[in-house]
């Protein structure tokens, strides 16, 4: 029997990596928002995600720079992929973002994030957003809350 | 001579309201992001903005709820309209968002925000996001930084 | 039987107010930190607290202004009194503070805070810190997490 | 002539380290708050500071754990020493703190912080607070704002 309330058996590093990749693949497939924004998964590992997104004309705000919402969205998706990589459904409780430099049309942004802490059902993740020149665009910190359920069926239930 | 470095003459309430509306109109017209996300301006006043946005299928994440990035985007646009309402170009320095409840496809979200403080070039704005039932979806707090320039030409320069 | 896992019967406004006052009194009595910092409770209500603190010489930092930690402490205590006013033990999960103006020796600061949202075991509280002239010193936002237990025995258990 | 408005000549690593240490020494000497809380400077470098503080009985709150204000104070002092290490007077504009685990009487806390970004007059610093067992107590992120003046006289003025 596979139940969210039972502790999963510990995984070895290869299994944890495979599980993280399968979770990301499944989440991305059913995530119209990340797809529509042109995000691509660059790297996934347990508690880690790196995503890229190109800044399009329809992402610009009234100052002709990338609307902060899309920079946030990229970081938030990386946060989501990182915090769901253990196959336990996890949502954002709150986030902070510091904007360091503007992003412009055509820039390719990369959000790289990892787990800083995981205690009970709460976690803290730091995601940095950089552009194609390596300049920091934003720092994002996400607080996660685990809810019920698994991201994917793992077959432990048979 | 109209110069960003000179202090503007104080406006009476009617003038301030008219200026806020003209700034919002001009900003919205050149803001492809807010337009593409289907945001509509409901109300503008000096230091205040209310915007609505309907949650579309392409805004859903892997949990079938509205991607946090779009909730953030709506709040961030309300923040931008509120903090640029004095016709002084102002950008986001940093933001925090607390997610209280999920939003779902078809929900109509309203972000209502106002200026809490303005000291020198920095300001603090609180924006609340609610759904069509009046339930709170998120609390957003934005820290603004004024940069050079005006949102619109006011004709003081002739 | 009185148990933290059982729902409390709904209280009328007078009972809720009395409970909030008794919780604050009990918490203050066993809170050496708030006492040692000279904090005084000005007003308590369900989900609400107002506290004052005078800035002492030993609270100054290297810039001869009140160390941010003491401004935070005052806001954090108001947050604690507000979020424990329902007699359910609640702790801080995370906080943000924006510093608007410095406080100086002899200033009397007041932190006034109230509950913005309470959903399940999580809550959001906004606390504003002002000085004796009514100037805003800081905005504080606290995210609370309810844990097990009651602040005081209510006698429902007999 | 020594003026805060003139750019300082670039320092070599040894000079930058010596300057950081002299700034910290001068700041600590005139910082009654950090002294009264028993903080000790463990390590200073350009853009970096590590401080320790023992949790005393008068730092406990109504839950018999260290009042969040003192954990914040330790992190905030490390932030201050790190962001003033370049001898340019810098203050906190805003901070976020996530509390991961409680600290108890007798615990010796260490706040370790470094500069994540410095752009114009604004900077971002991350400070982690751990206890004597290496457990994470809190994550703190500080946003700095440079104001006028130097921390110490450097003798460039003669």
Which pLDDT tens digit goes with each residue over C36-61?
Answer: 999 999 999 999 999 999 999 999 99
Mean pLDDT in residue range B8-32: 92
Closest chain C residue to A142 measured between Cα atoms?
C94
Mean pLDDT over all residues of chain C? 92
Chain B: partners with 3+ C-beta pairs within 8 Å: A, C, D
For residues D23 and D152, what is the distance between their CA atoms, to the nearest angstrom?
6
DSSP state of D60: B
B93 contacts in A (CB within 8 Å)? 98-99
Domain segments of chain C as ranges: 13-146
CA angle C143, C146, C147 (to 5 degrees): 135
Q: Hey, are the CB atoms on D141 and A143 less than 8 Å from each other?
A: no
For residues D94 and D105, what is the distance between their CA atoms, to the nearest angstrom?
28
What pLDDT does B156 receive?
55
D96 contacts in B (CB within 8 Å)? 96
Q: Could you tell me the CA-to-CA distances from A33 to A40, A124, B59, C46 in Å, in that order?
A: 12, 23, 5, 40
Q: Which of residues 130-149 of A touch D (CB under 8 A)?
A: 136, 139, 141, 143
For residue B67, is pLDDT > 60?
yes
What pLDDT does A7 receive?
57
What pLDDT does B8 receive?
59
Distance from CA of D96 to the nearest CA of B (A): 9
Q: Hey, are the CB atoms on C141 and B141 less than 8 Å from each other?
A: yes
Distance from CA of D74 to the nearest CA of C (A): 8
**Residue labelled with tokens 């998964």:** A41
Which pair of tokens denotes residue A61? Answer: 């705000």
pLDDT digits (tens, 9 = 90+) for D37-54: 999 999 999 999 999 999
For residues D68 and C23, what is the distance between their CA atoms, to the nearest angstrom?
19
Q: Hey, are the CB atoms on A116 and D96 less than 8 Å from each other?
A: no
Q: Taking each helix axis from N to C terminus, what angle separates D68-83 and C68-83, rounded to the nearest 10 degrees?
A: 150
What pLDDT does B139 receive?
97
Distance from CA of A107 to the nearest CA of B (A): 16
- Decide if B121 touches C, using CB distance below 8 A: no
Q: Hey, are the CB atoms on B76 and A64 less than 8 Å from each other?
A: no
Q: Is-contact C97 C71, C-beta < 8 A?
A: yes
Which pair of tokens denotes residue A150? Answer: 């698994």
For residues C47 and C115, what is the distance between their CA atoms, to the nearest angstrom?
5
Q: Is-contact B139 B98, C-beta < 8 A?
A: yes
Mean pLDDT in residue range C83-94: 94
Which helix or strand (DSSP H or E) is residue C29 part of?
A: helix C13-29
Chain A: partners with 3+ C-beta pairs within 8 Å: B, C, D
For residues B8 and A157, what is the distance between their CA atoms, to the nearest angstrom?
70
Closest chain D residue to B97 measured between Cα atoms?
D96
Topology (CATH) of D13-146:
Thiol Ester Dehydrase; Chain A (3.10.129)
pLDDT digits (tens, 9 = 90+) for D52-91: 999 999 999 988 999 999 999 999 999 999 999 999 999 9
For residue C6, is pLDDT > 60?
no
Query: D154 pLDDT band (50/70/90 cuts)?
Result: confident
What pLDDT does D3 receive?
41
What pLDDT does D5 receive?
45
At B6, is the secondary structure helix, strand, or coil?
coil
Q: Which of residues 62-101 of C touch B (CB under 8 A)?
A: 96, 98, 100-101
C94 contacts in A (CB within 8 Å)? 94, 143
CA angle B58, B64, B68 (to 5 degrees): 70
pLDDT digits (tens, 9 = 90+) for B91-138: 999 999 999 999 999 999 999 999 999 988 999 999 999 999 999 999
For residue C99, is pLDDT > 70?
yes
Distance from CA of B145 to the nearest CA of A (A): 11
Q: Is-contact C102 C65, C-beta < 8 A?
A: yes
Q: In degrees to the nearest 10, what's the CA dihedral of D142, D148, D151, D152?
A: 160
C113 contacts in B (CB within 8 Å)? none
Q: Domain B14-146 maps to which CATH number in 2.130.10.10, 3.40.50.720, 3.10.129.10, 3.60.40.10?
A: 3.10.129.10
Residue (of A67, A36, A54, A31) closest to B51 by Cα position = A67
For residue B1, is pLDDT > 50?
no
User: Left (φ > 0), alpha (ψ -120 to 50) or beta: where does A149 sit?
Assistant: left
* Other beta carbons within 10 Å of A36: 14
Positions of chain A with pLDDT lower than 70, given as ranges: 1-8, 155-158
List, in sequence order, every residue forming a beta bridge with A110; answer none if it has no partner: A52, A130
CA dihedral for C79, C80, C85, C88, sign (positive or negative): positive
Query: D7 pLDDT band (50/70/90 cuts)?
Result: low
Distance from CA of B6 to the nearest CA of A (A): 21
Q: Which member of D28, D60, D91 has the closest CB to residue C33?
A: D60
At A123, is the secondary structure helix, strand, or coil?
strand
Mean pLDDT in residue range B33-56: 97
Q: Is-contact C73 C122, C-beta < 8 A?
A: no
A117 contacts in D (CB within 8 Å)? 98, 100, 136, 139
Q: Which of residues 13-72 of B touch A (CB under 8 A)?
A: 26-28, 30-34, 36-37, 57-64, 66-70, 72
Q: Is-contact D97 D140, C-beta < 8 A?
A: yes
What pLDDT does B157 receive?
42
CA angle B18, B22, B26 (to 5 degrees): 175
Testing the interface with C: which of A91, A92, A94, A96 to mutate, by most C Cβ within 10 A? Answer: A94
Closest chain A residue to D120 measured between Cα atoms?
A100
Buried b (16+ CB within 10 A) or exposed e, C121-146: ebbbbbbbbbbeeeebbbbbbbbbbb
- Decide if B122 touches D, using CB distance below 8 A: yes
Testing the interface with B: which of D93, D117, D141, D146 to mutate, by most B Cβ within 10 A? Answer: D93
What are the DSSP E strand ranges found in C17-134?
40-45, 48-54, 90-99, 108-119, 122-130
- Decide if A122 touches C, using CB distance below 8 A: yes
What pLDDT does B119 receive?
86
Which pair of tokens denotes residue B138? Answer: 């998120």
DSSP state of B9: P
Mean pLDDT in residue range D97-121: 96
Burial (CB < 10 A; 0-12, 13-18, 19+), residue B158, is exposed
Q: Hey, are the CB atoms on C122 and A93 less than 8 Å from each other?
A: yes
Closest chain D residue to C33 measured between Cα atoms?
D59
Mean pLDDT in residue range B29-39: 95
Cα B90 from chain centre: 11
Using a pLDDT cut of 70, give the percent of chain D over it. Answer: 92
CA dihedral for A23, A28, A30, A34, sign (positive or negative): positive
Which pair of tokens denotes residue C20? Answer: 């909030």
pLDDT digits (tens, 9 = 90+) for D10-31: 899 999 999 999 999 999 999 9
Mean pLDDT over all residues of chain B? 92
């Amino acid at each position: 029997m596979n139940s969210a309330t039972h502790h999963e058996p510990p995984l070895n590093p290869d299994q944890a990596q495979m599980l993280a990749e399968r979770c990301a693949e499944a989440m991305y497939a059913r995530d119209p928002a990340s797809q529509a924004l042109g995000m691509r998964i660059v790297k996934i590992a347990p508690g880690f995600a790196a995503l890229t997104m190109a800044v399009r004309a329809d992402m610009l705000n009234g100052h002709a720079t990338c609307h902060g919402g899309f920079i946030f969205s990229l970081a938030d998706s990386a946060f989501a992929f990182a915090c769901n990589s253990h196959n336990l459904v996890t949502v954002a409780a709150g986030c902070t973002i510091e904007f360091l430099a503007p992003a412009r049309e055509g820039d390719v942004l990369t959000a790289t994030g990892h787990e800083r802490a995981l205690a009970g059902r709460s976690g803290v993740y730091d995601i940095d957003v950089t552009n194609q020149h390596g300049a920091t665009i934003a720092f994002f910190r996400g607080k996660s809350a685990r809810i019920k359920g698994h991201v994917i069926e793992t077959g432990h239930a048979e």
